[in-house]
């Protein structure tokens, strides 16, 4: 409530600040617990720091006056770090431009006076300019109808997906008439609490480095940058995506500026590109002669295909996460490389229109010129949305609006400009359900208006409402705006369709074959012109490729609109032998499906455990139940989920049918502990499959339910000795039969036993979310089979496992070099309760495999520290995956070179009715530490997941509190020690990576 509990120790604070100043530090970030509400202590510390000579003092209640200590603290540190650098830059620019009003772009999409520009507001200012440019030009294009001589090619409400592809990365965004902003996000791992445009970035740009890793082709995430840049830049750089486009003819050096080479006066070098691709092709043929690409051009197109898939996956993420159907949108491409890939990206997404502005290559700069001056002020509220508190916090919102108006007016005067436009005030309310962490931002209005707007936004994103839950006003914000320039774009007369003059006919490699493509210069086109693909449209700052089956039209606004005019071809992969291009494509596709399932589950789940703490996992499995791919979710779930799948297969063989869904949490058959509930859906290709048809794949989702019964709320009893004391045990239960949810039967099961679930309704809500997540996986797998064919998809499910297997074998070879003649290493880890984990690792260098033997581990315990075998397998899979110094999916192939021996009767293979709840969260971490100890690669990390739980029959709370990770040696490529690394404090380690609830 902001009440003073303990006075500030000013003597100690002054002493510490003086010591820091004496070390040469001049910038300080001040962050106190609950400082957003009780500001006096932070203000006193700031005054003291200024008196002592600190030149940059960032104070959390000014930088981010909202609840959440961690993100507010991170934001304050970023501001203290960046603001002095920005200030020096601003002063330099101001000195060179005396008397000129100077404004800077902010991450929120608004301009601010140079003197008010802060480090925290500069992080994504460049991409934000692109979104403003996209929005302003899209609004104009849709309003005008984009006339090309017939019916408008763009009409209705503005709905665009932004596709901003530059040199190092691609930014994707969404616009449907209003800017989407986030007030909390992560940038490079730093939690930022500042208004920013909602942008999703993927490391695939024109400079993304292309490489062959011995099995598959890789695009990024490393970038060649601007210097040396791609190989074609004539500065000795590596092959990059830009070079692939040169190789296939999509970039024509003669129509690119001559700014390359040491003197920056040469054209792109197509010859070095050809030599480098030929060299890589020779390398691939030496490894895999039968499946190597047929030509350097085919190799280059393979890389483009991978890059396109990565960029399309990024767009899928924002659409699934927010509930948008991208097929109803126009793809608006910009950035230097966007037009080269737009048609291909649109095809992957099922989009049929692309908008290209004449300034697409410099749209970020154009957007900055069109941006509004704006200033956003925020204030924490943390009160229920009800009549009793409405008047109080709405008065606070009015006061905040007045502050924002005065501040924006003052910055305009400081800059020396007086706008004729009035200041607009946009009041917004940040609303969430009580007990959750996901606030949605809606316009201010009456209580009923706010509730209706929130429910509409919540239903759009999460597909349901939390009936009976109170609404909380987390914060309010005000945006003060002085309107910027309106895009002034001349209307051109629309001419009849004609033969568009072409500067040349050039060879273009697309769809695995050569085409004769028209090369058209955009300046030669006039409104009404149409260009049939394949074609290249060159202009001063961008190149647009019109793929086969597409048509480009020039509108009356001089905008290019690309339309798919022929149906997409069903492209089946050629053959089932492993192809280095398709191996990477399928790796990305499988991973993306699991990620989409995870987003669906997070969006539709009811409990905070799943929705906020992200204590869940989603994965794909082949017909035998082998793990194929997973999203980067909870490690202890993923290695063990396959055992649950195999249990369902074994116990239901011959009786499954389309529309069936199974649920289990049985720790003796693939489960981990009872709160982790697994939902499994068999995948059939046809809804009308008969009894003779077998599932071709399986999808699964495992989520930690807030309560599943047992002797203590939260189902994590510290002293359980029998499985019944830990909750309701679910064994191979058919949750959905032929598409019909068996809700009554499931509720009856949850309500049964000596200690039933305390909240079956919440369990059912989360189970519905898991069913929906699985259905997302089913639909995406069916689409994949439609595109590639079942035989190819199943073949690549084997190939990705083989790839993971080979990667682990390489890691084992490195271990063998380091172990030398002593091929067996053991480690014993004692537990506090007197038990021990003993493991021996034996490396067979010749066979490139390993044996993990847990003989010597204590027998089954009478307490709850018994860990199901699935947990041990998860720990082994996790440890060996971390030894692979490469980006590979965590799948069943990782375990193929590893034999695991767990002796019967020990605490790692408990038999019913042994209790197991601590085995998943305590013993699992100890198994991991013991394995790292035997392998001599890492000291022990916190040997506990540190569960904290409390509650009653009405509410339950559960989370894991992070500790620290161990230190260890660094190894070179030969497996020899070359230095070491320190441990890390306050991080989730090994078997868990769930979010920690903020202390405020």
**pLDDT tens digits, 366-381:** 999 898 888 888 888 9
Residue 992: partners with Cβ closer than 8 Å, 6 or more residues away? 634, 635, 636, 921, 945, 960
Which CATH superfamily includes the segment(s) 125-201+307-369? ATPase, nucleotide binding domain (3.30.420.40)
Q: 877: closest CA among 546, 638, 590?
A: 638
How many other C-beta atoms lie within 10 A of the C-beta of residue 850?
23
Residue with tokens 């800077």: 104
Q: Chain centroid to CA 673: how far?
A: 28
**What is the crossing angle of helices 743-750 and 760-788, to 10°?**
130
Mean pLDDT on 507-521: 92
Mean pLDDT on 561-583: 75
pLDDT tops 80 at residue 35: yes
pLDDT score for 774: 94
Mean pLDDT on 628-657: 82
Ranges 33-47, 115-129, 818-832, most confident: 33-47
Task: Characterize the bridge pairing of strands 898-901 and 849-853.
Answer: parallel
More confident: 598 or 204: 598
pLDDT tops 70 at residue 633: no
Residue 58, H or E segment:
strand 56-59
The residues with which 30 forms a beta bridge, in sequence order, are 59
Which has the minimum average pLDDT: 22-26, 217-221, 392-396, 746-750? 217-221
pLDDT score for 463: 62
Predicted confidence band at 292 (pLDDT cuts at 50, 70, 90)?
A: confident
How many other C-beta atoms lie within 10 A of the C-beta of residue 225?
15
CA distance 88 to 386: 48
More confident: 168 or 95: 95
Structure tokens at 371: 């941006």
Which has the minimum average pLDDT: 606-610, 780-784, 926-930? 606-610
CA distance 428 to 434: 19
Predicted confidence band at 277 (pLDDT cuts at 50, 70, 90)?
A: very high
More confident: 813 or 607: 813
Spell out the domain ranges in the chain: 10-101, 125-201+307-369, 208-305, 377-482, 580-797, 803-987
CA distance 574 to 96: 61
* Contact yes or no for 554/526 (Cβ under 8 A): yes
pLDDT tops 80 at residue 573: no
Question: What's phi and psi for 350, nearest 5 deg?
Answer: 75, 20
Q: Give 325-350 pLDDT, tens digit per residue.
A: 788 889 999 888 889 999 999 998 88
Task: Characterize the bridge pairing of strands 661-664 and 676-683.
Answer: antiparallel
Mean pLDDT on 974-987: 82
- Helix, strand, or coil here: 72? helix
Predicted confidence band at 444 (pLDDT cuts at 50, 70, 90)?
A: very high
Question: What's phi and psi for 799, nearest 5 deg?
Answer: -65, -40
Q: Give 543-562 pLDDT, tens digit per residue.
A: 999 999 999 999 988 899 99
How many other C-beta atoms lie within 10 A of the C-beta of residue 824?
12
pLDDT tops 80 at residue 2: no
Buried b (16+ CB within 10 A) or exposed e, 470-494: ebbbbbbbbbbbbebeebebeeeeb
CA distance 359 to 366: 7
pLDDT tops 70 at residue 417: no
Predicted confidence band at 945 (pLDDT cuts at 50, 70, 90)?
A: confident
pLDDT score for 37: 87
CA distance 100 to 289: 64
What does the radius of gyration of the chain's CA atoms come to, in whole angstroms?
Answer: 30
pLDDT score for 549: 92
Mean pLDDT of the residues in the chain: 87
Structure tokens at 358: 């004449």
Q: Give 420-431 pLDDT, tens digit per residue.
A: 678 889 999 999
Mean pLDDT on 905-934: 93
What angle (nearest 5°) sits at the alpha carbon of residue 19, between those of residues 13 and 23? 145
pLDDT tops 80 at residue 434: yes
pLDDT tops 60 at residue 17: yes
* E-only strand ranges, 747-878: 824-830, 836-844, 849-853
The residues with which 282 forms a beta bridge, in sequence order, are none
* Contact yes or no for 160/332 (Cβ under 8 A): yes
pLDDT score for 932: 94
The three-state DSSP-derived secondary structure of 648-678 is HHHHHCCCCCCCCEEEECCCCCCCCCCCEEE
How many other C-beta atoms lie within 10 A of the C-beta of residue 830?
12
pLDDT score for 152: 64
**What is the crossing angle of helices 580-604 and 760-788, to 10°?**
160
pLDDT score for 973: 66
pLDDT tops 80 at residue 462: no
173 burial class (0-12, 13-18, 19+ CB within 10 angstroms)?
Answer: buried
Distances (CA, A) of 919 to 169, 624, 677, 881, 995: 42, 27, 16, 21, 21
* Contact yes or no for 633/596 (Cβ under 8 A): no
Predicted confidence band at 116 (pLDDT cuts at 50, 70, 90)?
A: confident
pLDDT tops 70 at residue 639: no
pLDDT score for 290: 79
The structure's pTM equals: 0.78
Percent of the chain at pLDDT > 70 equals 94
Mean pLDDT on 644-668: 92
Q: Give 604-624 pLDDT, tens digit per residue.
A: 787 777 877 778 889 999 999
Predicted confidence band at 653 (pLDDT cuts at 50, 70, 90)?
A: confident
Ranges 16-30, 782-796, 945-959, most confident: 16-30
DSSP letter string, 359-393: TGGGHHHHHHHHPPEEEEEEEEEEEESSHHHHHHH
pLDDT score for 679: 97
pLDDT tops 70 at residue 949: yes
Q: 748: closest CA among 771, 730, 766, 765?
A: 730
Percent of the chain at pLDDT > 90 equals 43
pLDDT score for 509: 94
Predicted confidence band at 947 (pLDDT cuts at 50, 70, 90)?
A: confident
pLDDT tops 80 at residue 773: yes
Q: Give 61-91 pLDDT, tens digit per residue.
A: 999 888 889 889 999 999 999 989 888 888 8
Q: Give 680-717 pLDDT, tens digit per residue.
A: 999 998 777 766 788 999 999 999 898 999 998 888 88
pLDDT tops 80 at residue 634: no
Mean pLDDT on 256-275: 90
Mean pLDDT on 654-678: 91
CA distance 551 to 62: 52
Predicted confidence band at 822 (pLDDT cuts at 50, 70, 90)?
A: low
- Helix, strand, or coil here: 736? strand
pLDDT score for 576: 63
DSSP letter at 732 equals S
Predicted confidence band at 778 (pLDDT cuts at 50, 70, 90)?
A: very high
Distances (CA, A) of 71 to 120, 303, 960, 998: 12, 38, 19, 9
pLDDT tops 70 at residue 636: no
Mean pLDDT on 232-260: 91
pLDDT score for 887: 72
pLDDT tops 70 at residue 323: no
pLDDT score for 257: 84
pLDDT score for 957: 73
């Amino acid at each position: 409530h902001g009440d003073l509990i303990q006075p500030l120790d000013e003597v100690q604070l002054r002493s510490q600040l003086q010591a820091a100043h004496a070390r040469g530090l001049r910038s300080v970030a001040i962050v106190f617990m609950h400082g957003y509400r009780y500001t006096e202590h932070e203000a006193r510390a700031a005054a003291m720091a200024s008196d002592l000579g600190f030149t940059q003092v960032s104070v959390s209640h000014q930088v981010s006056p909202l609840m959440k200590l961690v993100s507010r603290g991170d934001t304050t540190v970023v501001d203290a770090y960046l603001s002095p650098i920005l200030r020096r830059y601003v002063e330099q620019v101001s000195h060179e431009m005396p008397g000129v009003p100077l404004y800077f772009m902010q991450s929120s999409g608004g301009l601010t006076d140079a003197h008010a520009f802060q480090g925290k507001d500069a992080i994504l200012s460049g991409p934000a300019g692109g979104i403003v440019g996209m929005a302003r030009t899209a609004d104009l294009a849709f309003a005008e109808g984009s006339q090309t001589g017939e019916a408008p090619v763009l009409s209705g409400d503005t709905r665009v997906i932004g596709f901003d592809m530059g040199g190092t990365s691609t930014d994707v965004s969404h616009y449907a008439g209003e800017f989407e902003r986030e007030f909390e996000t992560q940038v490079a791992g730093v939690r930022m609490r500042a208004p920013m445009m909602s942008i999703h970035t993927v490391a695939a740009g024109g400079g993304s480095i292309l490489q062959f890793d011995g099995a598959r082709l890789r695009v990024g995430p490393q970038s060649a940058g601007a210097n040396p840049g791609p190989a074609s830049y004539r500065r000795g750089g590596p092959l990059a995506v830009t070079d692939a486009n040169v190789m296939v003819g999509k970039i024509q050096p003669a129509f690119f500026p001559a700014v390359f080479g040491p003197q920056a006066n040469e054209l792109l070098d197509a010859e070095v590109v050809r030599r480098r691709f030929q060299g890589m092709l020779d390398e691939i043929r030496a490894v895999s002669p039968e499946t190597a690409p047929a030509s350097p051009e085919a190799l280059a197109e393979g890389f483009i295909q991978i890059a396109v898939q990565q960029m399309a996956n990024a767009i899928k993420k924002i659409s699934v996460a927010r509930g948008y159907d991208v097929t109803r949108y126009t793809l608006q491409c910009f950035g230097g490389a966007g037009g080269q890939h737009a048609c291909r990206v649109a095809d992957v997404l099922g989009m049929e229109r692309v908008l290209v502005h004449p300034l697409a290559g410099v749209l970020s700069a154009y957007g900055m010129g069109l941006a509004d001056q704006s200033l956003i002020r925020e204030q924490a509220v943390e009160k229920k949305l009800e009549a009793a508190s409405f008047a109080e916090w709405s008065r606070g919102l009015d006061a905040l609006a007045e502050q924002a108006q005065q501040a924006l007016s003052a910055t305009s005067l400081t800059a020396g400009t007086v706008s004729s436009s009035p200041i607009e005030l946009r009041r917004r309310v940040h609303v969430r359900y009580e007990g959750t962490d996901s606030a949605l931002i809606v316009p201010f209005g009456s209580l009923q208006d706010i509730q209706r707007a929130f429910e509409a936004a919540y239903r759009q994103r999460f597909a349901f409402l939390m009936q009976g839950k109170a609404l909380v006003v987390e914060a309010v914000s005000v945006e003060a705006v002085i309107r910027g320039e309106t895009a002034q774009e001349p209307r051109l007369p629309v001419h009849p369709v004609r033969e568009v003059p072409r500067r040349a006919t050039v060879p273009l490699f697309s769809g695995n074959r050569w085409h004769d493509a028209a090369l058209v210069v955009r300046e030669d086109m006039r409104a009404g012109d149409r260009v049939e693909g394949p074609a290249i449209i060159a202009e001063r700052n961008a190149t647009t490729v019109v793929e086969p089956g597409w048509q480009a039209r020039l509108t009356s606004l001089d905008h290019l609109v690309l339309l798919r005019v022929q149906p997409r071809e069903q492209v089946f992969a050629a053959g089932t032998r492993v192809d280095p291009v398709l191996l990477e494509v399928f790796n990305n596709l499988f991973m993306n499906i699991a990620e989409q399932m995870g987003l669906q589950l997070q969006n539709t789940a009811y409990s905070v455990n799943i929705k906020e703490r992200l204590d869940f996992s989603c994965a794909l499995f082949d017909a035998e139940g082998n793990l194929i791919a997973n999203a980067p979710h909870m490690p202890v779930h993923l290695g063990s989920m396959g055992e649950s799948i195999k249990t369902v297969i074994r116990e239901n063989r011959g009786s499954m049918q389309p529309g069936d869904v199974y649920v289990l949490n049985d720790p003796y058959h693939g489960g981990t502990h009872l709160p982790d509930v697994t939902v499994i859906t068999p995948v059939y290709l046809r809804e009308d499959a008969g009894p003779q048809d077998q599932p071709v794949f399986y999808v699964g989702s495992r989520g930690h339910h807030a309560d599943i019964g047992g002797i203590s709320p939260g189902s994590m009893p510290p002293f359980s000795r029998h499985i019944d004391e830990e909750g309701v045990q679910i064994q191979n239960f058919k949750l959905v039969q032929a598409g019909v949810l068996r809700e009554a039967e499931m509720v009856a099961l949850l309500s049964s036993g000596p200690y039933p679930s305390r909240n079956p309704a919440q369990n059912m809500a989360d189970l519905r979310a898991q069913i929906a997540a699985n259905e997302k996986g089913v639909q995406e797998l069916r689409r994949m089979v439609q595109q590639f064919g079942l035989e190819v998809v199943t073949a690549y499910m084997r190939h990705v496992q083989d790839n993971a297997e080979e990667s682990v074998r390489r890691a084992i070879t490195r271990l063998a070099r380091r172990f030398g003649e002593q091929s067996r290493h053991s480690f014993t880890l004692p537990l506090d309760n007197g038990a021990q984990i003993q493991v021996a690792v034996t490396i067979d260098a010749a066979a490139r495999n390993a044996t993990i033997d847990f003989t010597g581990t204590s027998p089954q315990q009478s307490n709850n520290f018994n860990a199901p075998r699935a947990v041990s397998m998860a720990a082994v899979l996790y440890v060996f995956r971390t030894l692979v110094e490469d980006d590979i999916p965590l799948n069943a192939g990782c375990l193929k070179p590893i034999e695991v021996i767990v002796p019967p009767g020990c605490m790692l293979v408990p038999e019913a009715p042994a209790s197991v709840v601590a085995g998943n969260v305590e013993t699992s971490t100890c198994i991991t530490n013991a394995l790292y100890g035997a392998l001599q690669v890492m000291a022990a990390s916190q040997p506990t997941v540190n569960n904290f739980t409390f509650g009653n029959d009405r509410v339950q709370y559960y989370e894991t509190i992070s500790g620290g990770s161990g230190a260890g040696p660094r190894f070179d490529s030969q497996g020899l020690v070359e230095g070491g690394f320190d441990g890390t404090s306050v991080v989730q380690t090994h078997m868990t990576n769930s979010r920690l609830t903020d202390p405020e």
